[in-house]
Amino acid sequence: MRRVLVLLACALVLVSCANVPQESLPVVVSVEKAPPQANDAPEPPANADPLDIVRLFIKANADPRSGNAASRAFLDERQRGAWRPNRSFTIIDKTFSTVYDPTAASGATTTPTPSSATPDPNVRTVTVRGSVLGTLSADSAFIPGSGPAEQTFQVRKQADGQWRISSPPPPVLLVTDDEFDGNYNPVSVSFYSADSGSFVPDLRYVPAKPQSGMPGRVMDLILQGPSAGLTGAVKNLFGDGVSLENNVKNNDDGSLTVQLSGLTGVGLDTRSLIAAQIVLSMQTVTSTRIRLLADGAPLVPGHEYWRSSDVPSYNASSSPGPGLMTVGGRVRSLSDGAPIAGAAGNGAYAVVSAAQSIDDKRLAVVEQDGDRVRLRIGDLGRDLPTVDLGGGSLSRPTWRPAQAGAGPSNEVWTVVDHSIIARMVLDPNGHWLRQSVNANDLLALGPIGVLRLSRDGARVAATVNGQLVVASVVRNGDTVTLREPRVLQPGVLTDVLDVDWGSTPDTLVAATSSPSQPVQRLSVDGRRMDAYNSSNLTAPVRAVAAAPSQPIVVADAGGLWTATELGEVWRPQAHSMQNADPFYPG
């Protein structure tokens, strides 16, 4: 019996061995990583004093990886585990100071005398003082700001002789602007404007490292919807049930896969818009093909892989006309200096200012009428009937973009007496009717000088008390409201005389009375400001005109000047005239 059992066992072993292959393909086993430890970062420099500990802590705050591990390294053991920083933080100038606080008690012995506490040499109080540049909100948008920033820290010497922060750090981090720029990348997330049929850029800032995760972070922002500054002005194409089925993945062929779920029943038009939104938003973080899937199939049937060149143009104003100018009460062409056809060009009207519609088909002019002004609107090159709008002053008009498939532009805005924003709307019977704009939030900042609608219709830029302000345009039926007004570069950019939307939808160009930096280019959120070359210009530069695919044109005391790049020397405009005010459609 024992022999039989041994023989059976050997037979079983041989059969098992026969089923084991000589080679096998490796199988990737997914292992869930443990959450990062609170001290998962290099320790601070040995023997750093309390001032350096706090200073280095502030500089480390810009690194969000591993739960702000770089900052936690400067905290004592108790605070490392207990600290819960906010998602938003305050950005300060890099020239901040750290000083010992002479008014705060450094510490006390455990048995103080009734008269006074004995200072503890192992505890120091350090105060950080800096200048606020803005905040990064919880939705990853920059909100400009100004004023002083101050935070106080208690620093204690540990048992090993090293100083560490022992008081709970404030939940709102202070981050220096240079470290912010080094650790965060701006991305232009696109959101659809059903009103104009175009995509509107929403500048957001995401951690730059690891770089491979950038597409996933952009996709998260798309799904979260627009920032507070654009909420209501654009449409969120994703319903509540839409989500990422898997993480955004880099494929072996170099492409990128985005797998969505929750789009069952969504029509082809919306799916095409979603595809365009994703591809346009990803432009700043990847140049590779993007594979778009939804519920296990291509997001757009028959179109699985996408590049930016596959997205049709959703911007009707990508190539506006050559521009016009007002001079001597007439409207003339910038391209040849000749008066335009019709009464606006032949001197029949005493033209103060004018605006051409984005589609180039219509013209609105402000006409001098005795000691008052009035508005005329009509087709370009024809007589312009007066409309029921006048006042002591009217700002240069600005046109709303034509609604998708609705024909020429049918709405123009102007500011009456610096205090009322009026919009003239063309009704089905061909009459221009005055309607109001709720601009209470904007007017709370002061009287309005210049007002310019963006060419996608989702924002306005305005000069208010010499400051540059941007607000969103929210439409609800016939009600139009300006919301979330934000002063760009407050305390820095002053004496703004004119503004126009730039060569891209997320930039502005401002003309100021500054003799050293008269023309500035700004991002739409005010985070970045760059000065154009001031050569050849004579302050003040009183007017500016900008548009996609067109040179910048400015007007100073000597005439008109053009440039295309920041460092370029300004050249005389070919048909410059003294006291001319240039403008492009918009």
Give the pLDDT score at 111: 40
The pLDDT of residue 159 is above 70:
yes
Residue matched to tokens 């009464």: 343
Mean pLDDT value of segment 533-540: 94
Between CA 113 and CA 101 the distance in angstroms is 23
One-character DSSP codes across 297-318: EESBTTB-EE-GGGSPP--TTS
* Domain-terminating residue out of 144, 167, 183: 183
Percent of the chain with pLDDT over 70: 90
359-396 per-position pLDDT tens digit:
999 999 999 999 999 999 999 999 999 999 999 999 99
Residues 151 and 270 in one domain: no
The pLDDT of residue 253 is above 90:
no
Residues 337 and 304 in one domain: no
Between CA 316 and CA 456 the distance in angstroms is 9
Q: Give me the domain span that covers residue 427.
A: 324-583
Positive/negative CA dihedral, 553, 420, 372, 409: positive
Between CA 137 and CA 90 the distance in angstroms is 9
Residues 408 and 520 in one domain: yes
Between CA 43 and CA 73 the distance in angstroms is 6
333 within a domain of the structure (yes/no): yes
Residues 153 and 276 in one domain: no
Residues 136 and 191 in one domain: no
* Domain-terminating residue out of 133, 164, 183: 183
Binned at pLDDT 50, 70 and 90, residue 40 comes out as low
Residues in the chain: 586
41 within a domain of the structure (yes/no): no
What number of CA atoms fall less than 13 Å from residue 521's CA on the CB side? Answer: 20
148 within a domain of the structure (yes/no): yes
499-518 per-position pLDDT tens digit:
999 999 999 999 999 999 99
Distances (CA, A) of 536 to 429, 516, 547, 571, 577: 50, 11, 22, 8, 16
Of 360, 284, 281, the closest CA to residue 319 belongs to 360
Residues 337 and 449 in one domain: yes
32 within a domain of the structure (yes/no): no
Number of domains in the chain: 3
Structure tokens at 582: 């240039």
306 within a domain of the structure (yes/no): yes
Give the CATH number for residue 544.
Answer: 2.130.10.10
Question: 3-state DSSP call for residue 82?
Answer: helix
Give the pLDDT score at 103: 65
256-280 per-position pLDDT tens digit:
999 999 999 999 999 999 999 999 9
* Domain-terminating residue out of 163, 183, 203: 183
pTM over 0.85: yes
Residues 178 and 191 in one domain: no
Structure tokens at 378: 């009509």
Question: 3-state DSSP call for residue 432?
Answer: strand
DSSP 234: B
> Which stretch of 182-196, 210-224, 303-317, 518-532 has the lowest confidence by average pLDDT?
303-317
80-118 per-position pLDDT tens digit:
999 999 989 999 999 999 999 876 554 433 344 444 567
Residues 349 and 493 in one domain: yes
423-475 per-position pLDDT tens digit:
999 999 999 999 999 999 999 999 999 999 999 999 999 999 999 999 999 99
Contacts of 224 (CB under 8 A, 6+ apart): 139
- Assess contact for 245 and 260: CB atoms under 8 A: yes
The pLDDT of residue 561 is above 70:
yes
Give the CATH number for residue 90.
Answer: 3.10.450
Give the pLDDT score at 316: 56
Residues 423 and 452 in one domain: yes
Mean pLDDT value of segment 230-235: 96
18 within a domain of the structure (yes/no): no
Between CA 376 and CA 392 the distance in angstroms is 15
